[in-house]
A and B are shown apart, each in its own frame.
Chain A
Amino acid sequence: KAGVTQTPRYLIKTRGQQVTLSCSPISGHRSVSWYQQTPGQGLQFLFEYFSETQRNKGNFPGRFSGRQFSNSRSEMNVSTLELGDSALYLCASSLASTNSYEQYFGPGTRLTVT
């Protein structure tokens, strides 16, 4: 099976712009979670989508949004970028049943805001 893919891998934007990141989960996985990772902060949960519905949401401002398509692919959008949004954005997919627990991570998108 192909792994989780994320595009683009690297991105440079300026303050005030918006950005859209894409994640394609492993075939058959219906859950996609998004995380922000910065040095020393660990993984900060953004949101989780399951069957095109947002199932969980972290404590991020409304500038961060996402969606999931019928083929389980997911996008996240950040509007009005701030310097503090510079981070590695990771998505992870899973089968998301109560008996399934392992999340598989993509390689991430490294976003730099200047």
Chain B
Amino acid sequence: GQNIDQPTEMTATEGAIVQINCTYQTSGFNGLFWYQQHAGEAPTFLSYNVLDGLEEKGRFSSFLSRSKGYSYLLLKELQMKDSASYLCAVRKRDSNYQLIWGAGTKLIIKP
């Protein structure tokens, strides 16, 4: 079967660092995505990992370990505007590259 797990909610302090984890079990893995979704808005693309390792993009970094079925999104120097839901999605090669989505992690930033 296929399953994607993320924590439901996390809280962090402005200026700090937070790591949001995503674990998955799926066949035909062909990449993992992270999207950000502010309340009442559409999701927007943050990162894509298909090979093991860390991809850094400004304050955001994403890590992938295919052997462990594990990814994390690392947010540094947190700002109040980072309060949002963070969605993890896995692309499957054996389903015409369909995306399978996790339920999302709601991140609350406190001053």
A107 close to B95 (CB less than 8 A) = no
Nearest Cβ distance between residue B64 and chain A, in whole angstroms?
14
Q: How many residues of B contact A (CB 8 A)?
A: 22
Nearest Cβ distance between residue B87 and chain A, in whole angstroms?
7
B96 close to A48 (CB less than 8 A) = yes
Residue of A nearest to B98 (CB): A56
User: Looking at the complex, which one of A35, A40, A56, A96 makes contact with B95 (CB distance below 8 Å)?
Assistant: A56
> What residues of A have a CB within 8 angstroms of the CB of B101 in the complex?
35, 42-45
**Bound complex: CA of A12 vs CA of B103, how far in Å?**
25
Given contacts A45-B98, A105-B42, 15 further A-B contacts (CB under 8 A): A33-B99, A40-B8, A40-B103, A41-B103, A42-B102, A43-B89, A43-B104, A55-B96, A90-B43, A96-B97, A101-B31, A101-B48, A102-B45, A102-B48, A104-B45
